[in-house]
Copies of this chain bind each other. A is one copy, B any other.
Amino acid sequence: MAGMRLQIIGCHSATPRLLARPSAQVLEIGNSPVLIDCGEGTQMELRRLRLKFTRIEHIFISHLHGDHFFGLPGLISTFRLLGRERPLHIYGPKGIKEAITLLLKLGESWINYPLHFHELEQGTSDTLLEAKGFTVKTFPLKHRVPTQGFLFRELPGLRKLKPEVAESHGISRAYYLKIKQGADAIAADGRTIPNAVLTEPPAATGSYAYCSDTAFDPELPGHIRGVHTLYHEATFLHTEAALAAKTGHSTALEAGKIARAAEVNRLILGHFSSRYNSLDSFRKEAQQEFLNTELAADGKVFDWAEL
């Protein structure tokens, strides 16, 4: 069972409303929470949902539209007021450092913890982070301003030792860690016991791709092929395909096409326009292309337990 867990903080486009919060998500991965996008009011929602947000060390901002970004200055300030000491890493488009630095300077609110900016070149496809237990890559999205997606992968853990088999061969416990790491072992009688006899594969690992906002992009599946769970924006239904293309957004049908082409396991739709009162049509439309489709909702939790 993979240890990943995703909680949607907000999944609605544009203007924040009371029951339609702008984009933000907390992904628990490798026993660490990371924040993905940070619309206005995110810090209040993190408190309301009782998430231990001071543990967040990495924040990924897809682009600099307000509904993905205007909660970040306040969160950074709040970390200071809470006496934060651990470093904070912020990944986002060029300009994010200038914006945050100017706001802190105007308020003479100097940060007393290490704050590191990692500015992303538009259109790049790079590894951003190799942390304990997980990696993060970025890939390009097609929107009106420079926008990047993020791909999170758990790293495999240790192989699972079969202690009864090791004992039956009289193998010393001193070798158990090496065996879990994949080594063969020497039995009491001098024979070499292959690792595959002594262990089972490690627990399955989870993976997650975040794509918001983007126009329909046939090149996108190449960046995320085989990812377990894909969050793909679906601002509009396909009756508004022309408007979606014009504004750099996707329809639910297009999100389904991407999920199918990328051979993912699960699709989560989000970034819904405020023009729709009911969202059930979004799922039905995407399911014409990709059956295992779910709808994001503010506060909703997704896990990877079925792996």
Q: Please give the residue numbers on chain A whose beta carbons come within 8 Å of chain B beta carbons, in ascending order.
A: 14-18, 40-41, 43-44, 47-48, 63-67, 69-71, 73-74, 77-78, 81-82, 93, 95-96, 98-99, 102-103, 106-109, 144-145
In the complex, the answer to whether A40 meets B71 with C-beta atoms within 8 Å is yes
Q: In whole angstroms, how far apart are the Cα atoms of A74 and B14 in the complex?
A: 10
In the complex, the answer to whether A74 meets B16 with C-beta atoms within 8 Å is yes
Query: Please, which residues of chain B bring their CB within 8 A of the CB of A44?
Result: 16-18, 40-41
A-B contact pairs, 7 of them (CB 8 A): A15-B77, A18-B47, A40-B40, A64-B107, A65-B107, A66-B109, A70-B77
In the complex, the answer to whether A81 meets B15 with C-beta atoms within 8 Å is yes
Contact A108 B144, CB 8 Å, known A47-B18, A81-B15, A103-B99: yes
Minimum CB–CB distance for A15 against chain B, Å: 5
Query: Please, which residues of chain B bring their CB within 8 A of the CB of A95?
Result: 102, 106
Q: Which single residue of chain B is at the shortest CB-CB distance from A95?
A: B106
In the complex, the answer to whether A65 meets B102 with C-beta atoms within 8 Å is no
In the complex, the answer to whether A47 meets B17 with C-beta atoms within 8 Å is yes
Q: Which single residue of chain B is at the shortest CB-CB distance from A21?
A: B44
Minimum CB–CB distance for A11 against chain B, Å: 15
Contact A66 B145, CB 8 Å, known A44-B17, A48-B18, A99-B102: no
In the complex, the answer to whether B40 meets A16 with C-beta atoms within 8 Å is no
Minimum CB–CB distance for A149 against chain B, Å: 18
Further pairs besides A18-B44, A66-B109, A107-B145: 12, Cβ < 8 Å: A14-B81, A15-B78, A15-B82, A40-B40, A64-B103, A65-B107, A66-B77, A70-B70, A70-B73, A70-B74, A93-B106, A102-B102
In the complex, the answer to whether A66 meets B73 with C-beta atoms within 8 Å is yes
